[in-house]
C-alpha cells in the first residue's frame, strides 16, 4: 500500500471545479466528478431527521439506479430547510447536468454545503455546468477539492494504491469540513473514488466499517449537520479480479479505512478556530458502544474543550463528562492519563476497568475564535 | 401569594456565611442553614454516574434519618473525584458540625461546589465551623447566599408568602450557578426553606414537579455537573394545617414551582460570559418528552448559541438542532419564530405540528468570554 497526501484520480475518472457565483468572494464553488464507466456507489448520509434537499434526491437516485457517473457539488449554499422548492432545485440541477453529460438523470448524485435555509440560485449553477463539463480532466480534482470548501482553510485530500492480485488498484478521497462536525458525520462532504472492481455488497461492507471508525468518530462542536454525505464510487477501471470477500476485501477495506481516517483527522485539524487536535482513547470498556459514548461525551464537553484551549489539565471536567455519559462508571475504577497540553496534539487516555472494548475519537479545543467565526457566519 | 426578590428566612430558620480560607480571594466560602425544628427534606441530585462525595454522604443520611436540621455548604472546592478520602472529608465535616450544634450527624446535609478533583481542606472548614455556628441569625441568609457563590456575579434569592387556611406560610430560596449548567440540573446548589407543615409525600411531589419545570429545563453549556443539588426543607414552624393534598397542595406546589423557576432563570441570566437570556418554547409536540428533547437540542446547540451572540438570525441552525434531536420531525411542518436578537432577552418559538405537548427551556448565548473564563478556571 502506497499513500500520497494528494488527490490523484484513479483510472476512468475526471473532475473539475469552477466559480459559478454562489460564493460572493468569487472563489471556486461548483465541483464535478465524472466517471467514464458507470460506477457502483456506497453512500452514507446524516442521521438527522432534517435532511437537506440534495440528500433526499440522492436517496431516490440510489433506489432507482444501480450505477452512477456524476457527482455534482456546490459550496456556498446547503440547499437545506428549503422545502419543496429546494428539492425541485436539486432535481433540476441534476437533470441539467445529466443532459449535458448525456447520461441518465438518476446516475447523478448531487451535494450542497454552506448556508442553511436559503434557496439555491439554480440559474448560476446551470450557467456554470457547461463550463464545468467542458473543463473535465484527470487533474481537475484539484479544482474540485477547492470548490467544495466552505470555512476550510486547507483542502483535504489523500490517495493510495494497493495490489489486488496482479493489478494495481487506486483510491482517492477528498473532503470538506470544518464546523458542525459531530457524530454521526458532520457538515462534511467526502467523495472517495476508486477504480477497483468490487461487488456492491463488499463495497458497502468496507464503506460502513471505514466510516464508522473515522467520520463517525470525530466531533468538533457536537452539532449534527443536515448535509453530511460520504460517497464511495467504484468504477472497475483497474480491471482487477472482482473483490467480493476474503483477503482481497480485507486489503481493500483496510485501505479504504485508512483513507477515511486520514480525511477525518484532517477535518478535525482544520476545525473552525481550533488550536489543538485531541485524540481520546477510551479503553477497558464493557462494550464498543460504551467506549464510544464515553469518548464522545468527553469530546463534546464544552468545558473540557475550553480547558484544553487554556492548557489547563482539568481532570475533574474529564471525570464529569465520563459521569454524564449515561453509563454506570465508577469513579474509583477510572484511570485518566492526559498528555502535555503545550503542543498542537493532545492525547487523552481514559481506562474504565470494565472490560476489553475500546474506541478512539478525535476532536479539537473550543476557542473564542470558534465563537467569533460562528457568530458572524451567515 | 406575595413575592420578594430577596431572601427572607421563614420561621424557625437561621443562617450564616463566613470566609474559612478555601477561596484564595478571602471571599465568603462557608455557609450554614440551621432549622430550630427538625425539618422534612425533599432532595434532588445530579443524574451523573460520577457524584461528588457530599452527595454520596447526603444520600446515606437521607436513607437513615427522617428529619434534618442543618445544611452546610462550601464553595471553592467541589470535593468531587476525590475518592474515599473525599467521602471521609465530607463525613468528618458533617460530624464536626453535628457535635457543635448538638444534633445527630445524619441530620446534617453537606454540599460543596467549586473545583473538581482536588481534596477539600477539612481543617479550614472545621476551624470555621464554630464561628459559623456562633454567628447564626435570621438575617444571616444574606451571608449564606454569598458564601455559596463561585463564578456567580450576583446572588440568587427569592422569597414568598402564601396563605394555607388561616396561616401565612413562607418559602425562601437561594441558589448558585453559573457554568456547567445542563439538564438535569447544573453545578447548581439550591436551598429552599419553608416553615410550612406538609407531609413527606406532598413535599416530594411538589419538589419533583417544581424542579422538573425549572432546574431541569435550563442549559448553559450542556455540561452535566457532579454536584447538582436542590434541597427543600420544611420545618412546620408556621403551624398551618398540614398540607397533604387537594387545594392546599396545589397552592403550595404552585408557590414552590414559582420559587424554583425564578431561581433557575437567575442562574441562566448569570451564566458565565453570557450576554443574552434565551427562552425556547417548543409547542405542538407529540408528547412532553419530545417537546423537552427538541427544546434542549436547540438550547445545547453551540452553533445556535454562537449565532444568538452574533445577533445572527440563523434559522438553519435551529432547524438543524431540531433534526438532531432524534425525533422524526418533518421539515415542512416546522414553524420557527425568532424574536429580535438585539436586546438582552430573546424568545424563540418552535411549533412541531405533531400534537399538543409543550415545553419551555431557558438558556443563554455562547460567547468568547465563556471560553476565556473556562480556559483559565482551575
Handedness of CA B89, B94, B97, B99 (dihedral sign): negative
For residue A204, what pLDDT is reported? 96
CA nearest B374 in A: which residue? A306
* Cβ–Cβ below 8 Å for A50 and B322: yes
Of A58, A57, A15, A18, the C-alpha closest to A35 is A15
Q: For residue A180, list chain B residues with Cβ-Cβ distance below 8 A.
A: 303, 320
**Cβ-contact A199, A241 below 8 angstroms:** no
**CB of B214 within 8 A of CB of B168?**
no
Q: From the list A48, A78, A371, which residue is nearest B371 (CB)?
A: A371
Measured distance CA(B18)–CA(B373) in Å, rounded: 25
Q: Which residues of B touch A372 (CB under 8 A)?
A: 368
Q: Does residue A368 belong to the interface with chain B, where contact is any CB pair within 8 Å?
A: yes
Which of A47-51, A302-306, A317-321, B187-191 has the weakest average pLDDT? A47-51
- φ, ψ at A73 (rounded to 5°): -145, 135
Pick the range with the lowest mean pLDDT from A150-164, A278-292, B89-103, B174-188.
B174-188
Q: Where in chain A are the domains? A: 2-269, 277-376
Domain covering B2-269 in this structure, CATH number:
3.60.70.12
Percent of chain B scoring above 70 in pLDDT: 95
CB < 8 Å from A in window 231-290 of B: none
B301 Cα to chain A: minimum distance (Å): 6
Q: Where are the beta strands (DSSP E) in chain A?
A: 2-4, 13-18, 30-45, 68-77, 108-115, 156-164, 167-176, 189-194, 218-219, 229-234, 277-285, 335-338, 345-351, 357-364
What is the pLDDT, as a whole number, of residue A377? 58
Q: Any idea which of A99-103, B81-85, B105-109, B243-247 has the lowest mean pLDDT? A: B81-85
Among B118, B222, B323, select the one facing A226 at the smallest CB separation: B323
pLDDT of residue A169: 97
In whole angstroms, how far apart are CA A158 and each of A7, A145, B45, B140? 5, 11, 49, 67
Instruction: Report chain B residues whose CB lies below 8 A from the CB of A367.
Output: 371
**Prediction pTM value:** 0.81
SS (H, E, C) B21-51: CCCCCCCCCEEEEEEEEEEEEEEEECCCCCC
Q: A50 vs B319: CB contact, 8 Å cut-off?
A: yes
Q: What is the mean pLDDT of residues A28-35?
A: 98
> Considering chain B, what is the average pLDDT of its residues?
91
pLDDT in the model for residue B326: 81
Nearest to B155 by CA among B130, B172, B131: B172
> Sorting pLDDT into bands at 50, 70 and 90, what band is A329?
confident
- To test the contact with chain B by mutation, choose from A314, A375, A376, A378 the residue with the greatest count of B C-beta atoms within 10 A, namely A375
pLDDT of residue A316: 81
The residues of B carrying an active-site annotation are: 187
Is A326 in CB contact (< 8 Å) with chain B? Answer: yes
Average model confidence (pLDDT) across chain A? 91
pLDDT band at A186 (very low <50, low <70, confident <90, very high): very low
Name the pLDDT band for B158 (thresholds 50, 70, 90).
Answer: very high
For chain B, say whether A327 makes contact (Cβ under 8 Å): yes
For the segment B127-140, the average pLDDT, to the nearest whole number, is 97
A306 inside 8 A of chain B by CB: yes
User: Measuring CA to CA, which residue among A193, A192, A111, A186 is closest to residue A151?
Assistant: A186
Chain B contacts in chain A segment 44-73 (CB below 8 A): 48-51
Model pLDDT, residue B377: 58
Residues of B in contact with A325 (CB under 8 A): 49
Q: Which three cell numbers stand for residue B339?
A: 424574536
Report whether pLDDT(B145) > 70. Answer: yes
- Whether A6 has a pLDDT exceeding 70, the answer reads yes
Report residue B349's pLDDT band, with 50, 70 and 90 as the boundaries: very high
How far is the C-alpha of B304 from the C-alpha of B308, rounded, in Å? 6
Put simply, the answer to whether B223 touches A301 (Cβ < 8 Å) is: yes
Distance from CA of A256 to the nearest CA of B (A): 28
CB–CB contact A115 B316 (8 Å): yes
Nearest CA in chain A to B115: A316
Burial class from Cβ neighbours inside 10 Å (0-12, 13-18, 19+) for residue B31 reads buried
CATH number for A277-376: choose from 3.40.50.970, 3.10.20.340, 3.40.50.2000, 3.10.129.10: 3.10.20.340
A293 in reach of chain B (CB within 8 A): no
Which residues in chain A have their CB less than 8 angstroms from residue B307's CB? 374-375, 377-378
Q: Would you say B172 and B52 are in contact if contact means Cβ atoms under 8 Å apart?
A: no
Terminal Cα distance for chain A, rounded: 43
Using CB atoms, which residue from A117, A312, A321 is nearest to B316? Answer: A117
Q: Which of A46, A187, A226, A269 is catalytic?
A: A187
> Hey, is the C-beta of B103 within 8 angstroms of any chain A C-beta?
no
* Interface predicted TM-score (ipTM): 0.73
B320/A80 CB distance under 8 A: yes
**Which chain A residue shows the shortest CA-CA distance from B302?**
A221
pLDDT the model gives residue B179? 60
**In what helix (H) or strand (E) does residue B18 lie, and over which residues does it extend?**
strand B13-18
Provide the pLDDT confidence category of residue B16 given band limits of 50, 70 and 90. very high
* Burial group, residue B95, by CB count within 10 angstroms (0-12, 13-18, 19+): middle
Strands A167-176 and A189-194: antiparallel
Q: pLDDT confidence of A100, banded at 50, 70, 90? A: very high
* pLDDT tens string A256-288: 999 999 999 998 888 878 899 999 999 999 999
Q: What is the mean pLDDT of residues B106-132?
A: 93
- Of B50, B302, B306, nearest to A222 by CB-CB distance is B302
Looking at per-residue confidence, does A336 or A325 come out higher? A336
Q: Do B326 and A49 touch (CB under 8 A)?
A: yes
Amino acid at each position: 500500500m502506497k499513500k500520497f497526501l494528494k488527490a490523484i484520480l484513479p483510472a476512468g475518472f475526471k473532475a473539475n471545479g469552477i466559480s459559478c457565483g454562489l460564493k460572493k468572494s468569487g472563489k471556486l464553488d461548483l465541483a464535478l466528478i465524472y466517471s467514464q464507466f458507470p460506477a457502483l456507489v456506497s453512500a452514507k448520509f446524516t442521521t438527522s431527521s432534517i435532511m437537506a434537499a440534495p440528500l433526499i434526491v440522492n436517496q431516490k437516485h440510489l433506489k432507482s439506479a444501480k450505477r452512477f457517473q456524476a457527482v455534482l457539488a456546490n459550496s456556498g449554499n446547503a440547499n437545506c430547510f428549503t422545502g419543496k422548492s429546494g428539492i425541485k432545485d436539486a432535481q433540476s440541477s441534476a437533470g441539467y447536468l445529466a443532459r449535458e453529460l448525456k447520461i441518465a438523470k438518476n446516475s447523478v448524485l448531487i451535494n450542497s454545503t454552506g448556508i442553511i435555509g436559503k434557496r439555491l440560485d439554480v440559474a448560476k449553477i446551470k450557467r456554470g455546468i457547461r463550463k464545468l463539463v467542458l473543463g473535465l480532466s484527470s487533474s481537475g480534482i484539484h479544482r474540485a477539492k477547492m470548490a467544495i470548501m466552505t470555512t476550510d482553510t486547507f483542502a483535504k485530500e489523500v490517495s493510495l494504491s494497493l495490489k489486488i492480485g496482479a493489478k494495481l488498484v487506486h483510491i482517492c478521497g477528498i473532503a470538506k469540513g470544518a464546523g458542525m462536525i459531530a457524530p454521526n458525520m458532520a457538515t462534511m462532504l467526502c467523495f472517495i473514488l476508486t477504480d477497483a472492481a468490487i461487488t456492491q455488497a463488499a463495497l458497502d461492507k468496507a464503506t460502513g466499517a471505514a466510516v464508522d471508525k473515522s467520520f463517525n468518530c470525530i466531533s468538533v462542536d457536537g452539532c449534527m449537520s443536515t448535509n453530511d454525505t460520504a460517497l464511495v464510487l467504484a468504477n472497475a477501471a483497474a480491471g482487477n479480479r472482482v473483490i467480493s470477500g476474503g483477503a482481497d476485501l480485507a486489503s481493500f477495506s483496510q485501505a479504504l479505512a485508512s483513507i477515511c481516517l486520514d480525511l477525518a483527522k484532517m477535518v478535525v485539524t482544520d476545525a473552525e478556530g481550533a488550536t489543538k487536535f485531541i485524540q481520546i482513547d477510551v479503553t477497558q470498556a464493557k462494550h464498543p458502544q460504551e467506549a464510544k459514548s464515553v469518548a464522545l461525551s468527553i469530546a463534546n464537553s464544552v468545558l473540557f474543550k475550553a480547558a484544553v484551549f487554556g492548557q489547563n489539565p482539568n481532570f475533574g471536567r474529564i471525570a464529569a463528562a465520563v459521569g454524564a455519559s449515561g453509563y454506570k462508571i465508577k469513579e474509583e475504577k477510572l484511570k485518566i492519563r492526559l498528555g502535555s497540553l503545550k503542543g498542537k496534539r493532545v492525547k487523552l487516555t481514559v481506562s474504565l476497568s470494565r472490560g476489553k472494548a475500546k474506541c478512539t475519537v478525535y476532536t479539537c479545543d473550543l476557542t473564542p475564535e470558534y465563537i467569533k467565526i460562528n457568530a458572524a457566519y451567515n
